Amino acid sequence: MSLAVEVKSLVKQFGNIRALDGITFNIKEGEIFGLIGPNGAGKTTTLRIICTLILPTSGAVKVFGLDVVNQASEVRKVISYLPEEAGAYPNLSGWEYLEFMARFSKGSASEVKRTIEEAAAISGLGERLKDKTKTYSKGMKRRLLVARALMTRPKLAILDEPASGLDVLHAYHVREIIKRYVKEHGVTVLLSSHNMLEVEYLCDRVALVNKGKVVVEGEPQKLKAKFNSANLEEVFAKVVGYA
Partner 1 sequence: MLKGFQTIFVKELKELIRDPKILLGMLVIPLVLFPILGMVLGYAAETAQEQAEKATLLVVNNDGGNWSEVFIAFMNASMKTIVVSNLTPQQVLEQDLLKQNNSTQFIEIPAGFSANMTEHASGNQKIKATVNVYGVFQGSGVFSDIGASVTNVIVSKFNRYIAPDVVQITQSTIIKGEIQTGVDPATLSSLMMMQTIAIPVTVMIMLTYSMQIAATSVAMEKEEKTLETLLTVPVDRFAILMGKLASTIIVAGIASAAMMIGYNYMLGSITTQIPSELSVDLVKLGLMPTTFGYLLLGISLFMTLLSGLALAVIMSAFASDVRGATALVGYIYPIIFIPAMALMYLDINTLPMAIKALFFAIPYSQPIIASKAVVMGDYTTVIFGIIYVAIFTVVVMYAASRLFATEKILTAKLLFKGKMGKTVAETE
Q: Contact, 4 vs 58, CB < 8 A?
A: no
User: What's the rounded Cα separation, in Å, for the pair 234 and 200?
Assistant: 12
19 binds ligand ATP (CB under 6 A): yes
Distance in Å, CB of 126 to partner 1, minimum: 23
Instruction: Give the footprint of partner 1 on this chain (CB under 8 A).
Output: 14, 48, 51-55, 70, 72-73, 76-77, 79-83, 85-90, 101, 104-105, 145, 148
Residue 228 interaction partner, one of ligand ATP, partner 1, Mg ion, none, beta carbon < 5-8 Å per kind: none
37 binds ligand ATP (CB under 6 A): yes
Q: Helix, strand or coil for residue 27?
A: strand
Beta-bridged to residue 7, according to DSSP, are: 25, 61
Distance in Å, CB of 120 to ligand ATP, minimum: 29
Question: Distance of alpha carbon 201 from its chain centroid, rounded?
Answer: 15
Closest C-alpha among 121, 186, 187, 190 to residue 161: 190
Phi and psi for 132 in degrees, rounded to 5?
Answer: -65, 145
From 70-78, 83-91, 134-142, 145-153, give the range in contact with Mg ion by CB under 5 A: 83-91
User: What's the rounded Cα separation, in Å, for the pair 80 and 106?
Assistant: 13
Residue 39 interaction partner, one of partner 1, Mg ion, ligand ATP, none, beta carbon < 5-8 Å per kind: ligand ATP
Residue 70 interaction partner, one of partner 1, ligand ATP, Mg ion, none, beta carbon < 5-8 Å per kind: partner 1
Residues of this chain that bind ligand ATP (CB under 6 A): 14, 17, 19, 37, 39-45, 84
